Amino acid sequence: MAEFTLELNDDQKQVRDWLHGFAADVIRPAASEWDEREETPWPVIQEAAKVGIYSLDFYAQQFFDPTGLGIPMAMEELFWGDAGIALSIVGTGLAAVGVLANGTEEQIGTWIPQMYGDADDVKVAAFCSSEPDAGSDVASMRTRAVYDQAKDEWVLNGTKTWATNGGIANVHVVVAVVDPELGSKGHASFIVPPNTPGLSQGQKFKKHGIRASHTAEVVLEDVRVPGHCLLGGKEKLDQRLARARECAASGGERVKNAAMATFEASRPAVGAMAVGTARAAYEVALDYAKTRTQFGRPIIDNQGVAFQLADMRTRIDAARLLVWRASWMATTGKPFTSAEGSMSKLYASETAKKVTAQAVQILGGNGFTREYPVERMHRDAAIYTIFEGTSEIQRLVIARTLSGMPIR
């Protein structure tokens, strides 16, 4: 078991510096253009694929870092470059985590490589969980999966929303209801292979921030997938549903559903994304405060500005420490007895919103224009308190964990 340390080793530092260089030289120069275009930045994704950043091998290396710091370190550097483009590069990872969390070894080996493609023909993947009437309230999910035993196929019907890469993905991972009586415990995850009839893109959303990342509805109309596309397999699903029914009857311990397993694994990574955006805004504000003069002196000479910057940096470092702790705990098998994963996501996402707002304020009128990147960073930061569990949901998870009570 790796010992906890705040010092990155030489290999980690080399990867961090490599990612930082890519973010500075490739992502940042393209950020404004793709934010304005509100389109998937395929050329940037392809550049990331060519150098090995957008690949299964790269994410596997970071995922299996024994310290747990590989993924958060990578997320922070890429999102320091630009949140919208970075999410286009890493968005496939959520679908990959869904397969890793719930799939068999054969499914992992078959489907995850198809999510990425290769440098000459890049692909993306989508994880489809949220619905128009079921975001935080996963128990209200309506998308159904019905097993056709005669053909050994599952038939999926429903509409998913807020899906990153939804409709343009090569592979979709869809969470659906297989037993409505069990609520959120009656869900399962399915692979929808490329070009499967019945799957289509619905509305593409025009967003406040992260506009270079494609977000859309996914419509499923009598989508038939082979039995082997049920993540984990039918035997495992039947066993899990049986346990859930027994627990429901006896009031026993909870059984995690497929979507929650994915989100629990990814929350510290989202926190790291927020840290990257917050750090980027802080650095712009610090540089601006040192060079912008008013009344014959740099504005950083004023406590009103200097103290804001001190608070910004303190919050960023505290958020990073929470993210690193949760990531280390997850990798070393230590249970989140105080909902440490949710803590990291909550604090880091709230930090990103606050720090980017302070950066806009420090830049004054310039911060409100698109001539400076803090305006875009502030818009981008809003998503962190919303997706993969709102701040309110994180507080609910933390409070329930701490109290042991079914707080509503």
Q: How far is CA 74 from CA 70, 184, 243, 323, in A?
A: 6, 32, 38, 12
Contact (CB, 8 A) for 19 and 74:
yes
Q: What are 183's two structure tokens? A: 């609520």
Residue 312 β-bridge partners: none
Q: Residue 357, exposed/middle/buried by CB under 10 A (0-12, 13-18, 19+)?
A: middle
Catalytic residue among 3, 106, 388, 392: 388
Contact (CB, 8 A) for 379 and 373:
no
3-state secondary structure of 172: strand
Residue 344: which of 320, 364, 368, 363 has the closest Cα? 320
Contact (CB, 8 A) for 271 and 326:
yes
Q: What are 182's two structure tokens? A: 């069990």
- Name the helix (H) or strand (E) containing 158: strand 153-164
Measure the CA angle with vertex 183, ends 235 and 327; round to 5°: 75
28 contact partners, CB below 8 Å, separation of at least 6: 81, 82, 373
Residue 285 CA, chain-centre distance (Å), reads 26
Residues in the chain, overall count: 408
Contact (CB, 8 A) for 200 and 128:
no
Please confirm, yes or no, whether 350 is among the known catalytic residues: no
Alpha carbons 92 and 59: distance in angstroms, whole number: 11
Residue 176 CA, chain-centre distance (Å), reads 20
- Identify how many contiguous H helices and E strands the chain contains and give both numbers: 14, 11
Contact (CB, 8 A) for 327 and 284:
no
Residue 84: which of 16, 34, 25 has the closest Cα? 34
Contact (CB, 8 A) for 358 and 284:
no
- The amino acid at 38: E
Alpha carbons 346 and 86: distance in angstroms, whole number: 20
Catalogue the active-site residues. 388
